[in-house]
Amino acid sequence: MHAVRNIRLCTKDCLCLYVCPTGATDTENGQIDKNTCLSGCRACVDACPSHAISLVPDEYPPQQEKTDSVVKALFALAKSKTKQERIASDIAKRTEDPAARQLALALSMSNRVVAEDLIREAGYMLPQSQNVKNLLLSLLETQQPKDFPKEVVEKLLGIL
């Protein structure tokens, strides 16, 4: 567990700098140096008056198991939502009426958020989970169009 700072909450009281036993917080980029930070020490977390620092696990527990029936049912809904997102965004692109466009944009964004959340709970919550890695691998193993960003997938598999 190492400490990270949420720069949007940080009010520059610099108490972390004062309490850190190793100087891991004295960086110029506003982030805490992961290599110097003592795992689980939390002195800065407790000292920060703005609650801007928290401990992030270096390794996450395995993702919760999902039953087949839940995955199927969530994906059935998510597929309906991604389709509705597309329909709404295409209405937004072609309509001449500004109010209709505004409504269509709202519907498109709403459906995207809902689809993301349903898919997340269908077994794709943790970016570093095996499920995500398997999906990325399967993209590399299947035939893809010419413009497919293979190097992006490879980079991800390398650092996740």
Partner 1 sequence: MKKYICTICGYIYEEVLGVPEEDIVPGTRWENVPEDWVCPLCGAEKFDFKEEEADEEPQQSLEYISDEAHNKDMSSADLSALFSNLSKGCEKQYRIKESELFNQLSEYFSGRADIEEDKEFDDLGVMIKKDLDTGYPAANDSAKASADRGALRALVWSEKTTRILGSILQRYEKTQSSFFEKKNVFVCEICGFVYIGDEAPDLCPVCKVPNFKIEKIKRR
Residues that bind partner 1 (CB under 8 A): 4, 31, 56, 64, 66-67, 69-88, 90-91, 94, 97-107, 109-122, 124-127, 132, 135, 145, 147-149, 152-153, 155-156, 159-160
**Integer angstrom CA distances of residue 82 from 13, 89, 123, 139:** 44, 11, 17, 20
CB of 15 to partner 1, least distance (A): 20
For partner 1, the closer of residues 36 and 84 by Cβ is 84
Kindly tell me which of 44 and 81 has the beta carbon lying closer to partner 1.
Answer: 81
Residue 128 in contact with residue 136, Cβ under 8 Å? no
Measure the CA–CA gap between 132 and 110, rounded to whole angstroms. Answer: 24
Q: How far is the CB of 122 from partner 1 (least distance, A)?
A: 8
How many C-alpha atoms does 25 have within 13 Å on its Cβ side? Answer: 27
Nearest to partner 1 of 26, 97 (CB atom): 97
CA 21 → CA 16, 24, 26, 43, 53, distances in Å? Answer: 10, 8, 11, 8, 16
**Residue placing its CB nearer to partner 1 in the complex, 62 or 149:** 149
The minimum distance between CB 112 and partner 1, in angstroms, equals 6
